[in-house]
Amino acid sequence: MKKILIVLTGGTIGSQVVGECVNVTDASPYQLIRLYKETYEKEKDEEEFEVIQPMAILSENMGLEAWSCLCRVMWDIPYEKYAGVIVTHGSDTLSYTSALLGLLLSHVEIPVVLTASNYPLGEKGSNGLTNFRSAVELIRTGLLRGVFTVYQNRKGENTVYLATRLTEADGYLDQFGSFGGVAFGRVEEGRFRYIANAINPGLSQLMEKRNPIAEHCPAFERSILFLRPYPGFDYETVDLCKKPAAVLHGLHHSSTACVAGETGSLLWLLEKCRKMGIPVYAASVKDAVGRNYESARKLLEGGAIPMENISPEAAYAKLLLLYNLYGKDARGRVEQVFYFENLPKCVNIL
């Protein structure tokens, strides 16, 4: 039986509590492997793991340099040697790294599973060990290929998400979501249970061979400025002196942002970026050509480039990858779907 490769990056799942402080150390991530072996390997034949630790950081500190390092490590893995790969990660930016690796590794022919923990291992209510076990069980089913995230919710369901559809955990209950409202499946008693839904790809679709997003792994040297709309946003405060490769502007759920007033209007920023040669993308747009609010139509007429039916995390990861791989040619590739990041068109727009 092939080994499972474990890629440790830190986060709460790789942290220890000292006094009132939760933090990572070089040694603490290996506690997960030790606890798993002590708790579960006595139940069945011993699992074989190979472990690497390219970094040990809290995920809120995950920047472009760390992402470049992680992506290089993941790109260079000889995947044919393993049954699957598990990436342990902090929960704060898990949805972003999931989207990034989902796109970058969409061609990989074994399961790559990201997971995390709500509390440090060993604390009451921690789901880290359960999440890790679910990741192992998902790989051992042999049913899937591609990139996923596994995380137990407050109902005790071991939920499987498509990596490009995981959405950020809320700040109160620490619960993740799936863009579109439907997860991909669950791990139940060592088995994978697929959730049949119109927005989910079928298992045969998932197993289709996919071409890699590029011939090489990028280093993230070009930045994407990510802005979110809120009442009172003054766009004159946005500093574009460093000239990002592109701007990603989030939208309200109705695919809108403010178009009234002077510097409080996104139209003002669109014009400024046009003069500076900076493309501005808007996400998520439900339908770029169909019925829409007048404000949404004005944004598109003002030059906003629509990204349809995609989570903010996946939109950001996609632009970051494409602009660092292809520069100005990235714009022509944005509409290409690499790993189920774009959902089917929503029928109820207004």
pLDDT in tens, 49-99: 999 999 989 899 999 999 999 999 999 999 999 999 999 999 999 999 999
39 falls in which pLDDT band (50, 70, 90)? confident
Q: Cα(307)–Cα(335) distance, rounded to whole angstroms?
A: 7
Q: Among 31-35, 93-97, 346-350, which stretch is predicted with the lowest mean pLDDT?
A: 346-350
pLDDT at 350 over 50: no
The whole-number pLDDT of residue 186 equals 98
**Adjacency order of strands within the sheet including 246-250:** 224-227, 246-250, 280-285, 305-308
Domains of the chain (ranges, CATH numbers): 3-206 (3.40.50.1170), 224-333 (3.40.50.40)
pLDDT at 27 over 70: no
Minimal CA–CA distance to 8: which of 56, 48, 66? Answer: 56
Higher pLDDT, 291 or 283: 283
pLDDT at 348 over 80: no
Q: Which residues pair with 86 in a beta bridge?
A: 6, 113
**Locus of tokens 């506690």:** 31
The whole-number pLDDT of residue 121 equals 83
347 falls in which pLDDT band (50, 70, 90)? low
User: Span 263-278, mean pLDDT?
Assistant: 98
Mean pLDDT of the chain: 92
The whole-number pLDDT of residue 7 equals 96
pLDDT at 328 over 70: yes
Q: What's this model's pTM, rounded to 2 decimal places? A: 0.94
Six-digit token string for 104: 């970058």
Long-range contacts from 19-27, C-beta under 8 angstroms, 24+ separation = 22/120, 23/58, 24/56, 24/57, 24/58, 25/56, 26/53, 26/56
Q: Cα(244)–Cα(323) distance, rounded to whole angstroms?
A: 10
Q: Give the H or E element holding residue 135.
A: helix 128-140
